[in-house]
Structures are given as structure tokens and as C-alpha cells.
């Protein structure tokens, strides 16, 4: 079992099958979940008459409802069949995908032996999988979290990266879960992530709170802890920032911007019903605007798939959606092939390479 050091990892990308040359990443999608137990967000539907949907198995007669109320059906929130993942990754490959960042955090959202299963999926499909580590939002932390100090939590993350688990190593810290405002536990988790970043040279990928002020709160915190903004990815841009000026302010801090809600075309957003999920077209317009403003080198893409309804097997758009449909649409609205190619190859190379 190889053990790595910060020095030996420098210049490499760590996949579940071991370190690779960043140039071998090919086309990369930067925020996904292949295997996840996302029942931590299960909630009753807003309308009591719909309660019967909660326990139904996903099928053609309820998929239309589930697409809107995706967190009110238990079966929908569980991605545990590795054969489904293998089929989806074969399709990803057919559509020109080569690498994928899997950021299911430590704790209750992970399946048993998740790391071994991800390695198997990678071996069976040839897709490079960069696995995350670190801790999610306050309500979905591992049992041991409270009893451990920041330093102890950091060593768990560091071990995941340098030492690995049965020969499978994490290659990124994330998704690190944040609410707005940050809770004490989330500050502890962020601190441990920043410490681990210093010890490993890894990037950090952040799940911000659902509030326009959340990214700036997180950035202030990272700066106060002496973290590196240029090695930080702020995810879920689409459901966090609705005002272009705020997006530009965020870009100016030097973080990477992950447009990772691609493919969701239901405007009702159950986790924040007072706001909405923009359409793919609106997301692409934001991407183009921030690219035109000089920040093309900070843009990353993802679908953040965490439910069955978004898999192709269940009538969803699948992990290939960006490659299958959106890159052409980016060109149609006026982005150059070169810029688009940078977004899916060069930018991921830069951020995923250990420093």
C-alpha cells in the first residue's frame, strides 16, 4: 500500500486508482455523486395529499412528480447500485467524458465500502474518479465528529489523502458543507479542511449555504484561517447567486466557480422554495457573462447528481448531459470552442493538481 507525502504528490492528480499526470485527465466534470445516501434531505411534500409518494418506488407513473419534489421520495435519494453507476459511466465515456470528481463527504451520506466501490467503477469503465473527503453540513456529520478536535478531524482528512484506505486515496477535500450563517460545527469542519489543505496541497471544494451572502462569509473565514482562495472551489453557484454583480465580486476573490447544477430544469427548488433553480439557459448565460468578464480560467462544470430521477436509467439527463448537449449550446450563445475546451480540460487540471 503506497503512502504519499505532500512532496511526492506535488504535480499529480490523485484518482481512486492512484496518482496520474494532470494531462491525462482529458475532459472532466467537477462535482458528482455516483454512490450516495442522500436521505439526509428527505422531507414531507409541501402538499399533504401527496404524502403517499414518499414511500413509493420510483416508476414511470410518479417520475413526473418526483422530478419536481425530488427530496420527498425516499427511494429517489438513494444511489447504491454500482451496476447503475457503471452503465452511466460507460455512457459518459461514449459522450467524450474521461474524468469525474466524486465529492460524497465522510459520514452518513456514504455507503459502506464506498471507496472500494468507486475504485471498481473506475476499473470497469476506465473513467478516472477523483474522490472527495471531509465533512458535510451540520445535520449530516459522522458520529465521531463532536468528540474530535479540529486537529484530529484534519488528520482524518490527511490520512484519507496520503495514506488512503485499502489502497484507495482521496484526491480533493470536499464537498465541505456550509450553511448560512456558518454553524460552530461547520467552522470546525472548515478549519480542519484548511489545515489538511496545508499538509497535502489539495484543493478544497465548498458547498455554500443557500443565501447570497454565504460565499462571502466563507471567503472571509478562509482568509482569517490563512487558507488559499486560489485553491478553493465554490460550488452550487446557480442556486446561491442570482445577481450577476455578486458573481463577479466572488470571481474577483480568485476562487473557482463551479456551475454544478447543470441539467436541473425544474424551477421549483424544494430546499429553498422562496428562491428558484435557474434553467440551463439561464445558467449558460451566467457562465458566458463571467467568462466574457475575464474569468474563463475559473469556471468549472458539474451536474451534482444525487438522486435516481437524474440518471438516464430513470429518464434523467445523466452525467453526460454537459458533453451531450450543453457544450454545443455554449457555442450557440457565442462562446469560443477554445474557451469551452479550457473549462472542461485546463481549469480542472489546474485545480485538481496537488501543489
- Which residues of the shown chain bind Zn ion in the complex (CB under 5 A)? 304
Report d(CA 278, CA 51) in Å as an integer.
Answer: 27
171 vs 340, beta carbon nearer Zn ion: 171
Smallest Cα–Cα separation from 103: which of 189, 41, 172? 172
Report d(CA 232, CA 349) in Å as an integer.
Answer: 14
45 vs 177, beta carbon nearer Zn ion: 177
Report d(CA 232, CA 172) in Å as an integer.
Answer: 10
Estimate the share of the chain in helix, then strand, then coil, as percent rounded to the nearest 5. Answer: 45, 15, 40
Q: How far is the CB of 346 from Zn ion (least distance, A)?
A: 23
Report d(CA 136, CA 141) in Å as an integer.
Answer: 6
Q: How far is the CB of 304 from Zn ion (least distance, A)?
A: 4
218 vs 335, beta carbon nearer Zn ion: 218
Contact residues for 264 (Cβ-Cβ < 8 A; gap 6+): 277, 280, 303, 310
Q: How far is the CB of 349 from Zn ion (least distance, A)?
A: 21
Q: How far is the CB of 201 from Zn ion (least distance, A)?
A: 23
How far is CA 144 from each of CA 136, 204, 230, 338, rounded to the nearest angstrom?
A: 13, 22, 31, 47
Q: How far is CA 295 from the centre of its chain?
A: 20
In the complex, which residue's CB is closest to Zn ion? 304
Q: How do beta strands 256-259 and 232-234 pair? A: parallel
Q: How far is the CB of 202 from Zn ion (least distance, A)?
A: 17
111 vs 335, beta carbon nearer Zn ion: 111
Q: How far is the CB of 11 from Zn ion (least distance, A)?
A: 27
Amino acid at each position: 500500500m503506497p503512502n504519499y507525502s505532500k512532496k511526492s504528490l506535488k504535480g499529480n492528480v490523485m484518482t481512486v486508482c492512484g496518482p496520474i499526470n494532470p494531462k491525462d485527465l482529458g475532459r472532466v466534470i467537477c462535482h458528482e455523486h455516483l454512490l450516495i445516501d442522500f436521505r439526509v434531505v428527505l422531507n414531507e411534500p409541501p402538499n399533504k395529499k401527496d404524502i403517499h409518494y414518499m414511500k413509493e418506488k420510483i416508476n414511470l407513473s410518479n417520475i413526473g412528480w418526483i422530478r419536481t419534489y425530488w427530496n420527498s421520495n425516499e427511494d429517489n435519494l438513494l444511489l447504491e447500485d454500482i451496476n447503475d453507476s457503471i452503465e452511466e459511466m460507460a455512457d459518459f465515456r461514449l459522450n467524450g467524458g474521461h474524468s469525474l470528481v466524486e465529492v460524497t463527504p465522510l459520514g452518513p451520506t456514504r455507503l459502506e465500502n464506498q471507496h472500494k466501490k468507486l475504485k471498481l467503477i473506475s476499473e470497469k469503465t476506465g473513467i478516472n474518479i477523483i474522490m472527495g473527503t471531509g465533512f458535510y453540513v451540520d445535520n449530516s456529520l459522522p458520529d465521531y465528529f463532536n468528540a474530535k478536535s479540529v486537529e484530529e478531524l484534519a488528520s482524518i482528512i490527511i490520512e484519507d489523502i496520503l495514506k488512503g484506505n485499502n489502497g484507495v486515496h482521496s484526491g480533493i477535500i470536499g464537498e465541505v458543507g456550509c450553511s448560512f450563517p456558518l454553524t460552530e460545527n461547520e467552522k470546525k469542519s472548515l478549519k480542519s479542511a484548511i489545515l489538511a489543505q496545508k499538509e497535502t496541497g489539495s484543493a478544497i471544494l465548498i458547498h455554500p449555504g443557500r443565501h447570497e451572502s454565504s460565499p462571502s462569509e466563507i471567503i472571509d473565514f478562509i482568509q482569517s484561517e490563512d487558507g488559499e482562495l486560489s485553491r478553493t472551489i465554490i460550488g452550487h453557484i446557480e442556486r446561491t447567486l442570482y445577481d450577476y454583480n455578486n458573481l463577479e465580486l466572488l470571481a474577483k476573490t480568485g476562487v473557482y466557480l463551479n456551475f454544478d447544477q447543470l441539467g436541473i430544469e425544474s424551477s421549483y427548488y424544494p430546499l429553498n422554495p422562496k428562491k428558484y433553480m435557474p434553467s440551463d439557459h439561464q445558467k449558460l448565460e451566467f457562465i458566458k457573462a463571467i467568462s466574457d468578464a475575464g474569468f474563463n480560467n475559473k469556471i468549472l462544470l458539474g451536474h451534482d447528481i444525487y438522486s435516481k430521477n437524474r440518471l438516464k436509467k430513470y429518464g434523467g439527463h445523466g452525467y453526460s448531459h454537459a458533453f451531450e448537449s450543453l457544450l454545443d449550446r455554449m457555442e450557440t450563445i457565442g462562446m469560443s470552442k477554445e474557451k469551452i475546451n479550457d473549462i472542461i480540460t485546463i481549469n480542472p487540471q489546474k485545480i485538481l493538481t496537488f501543489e
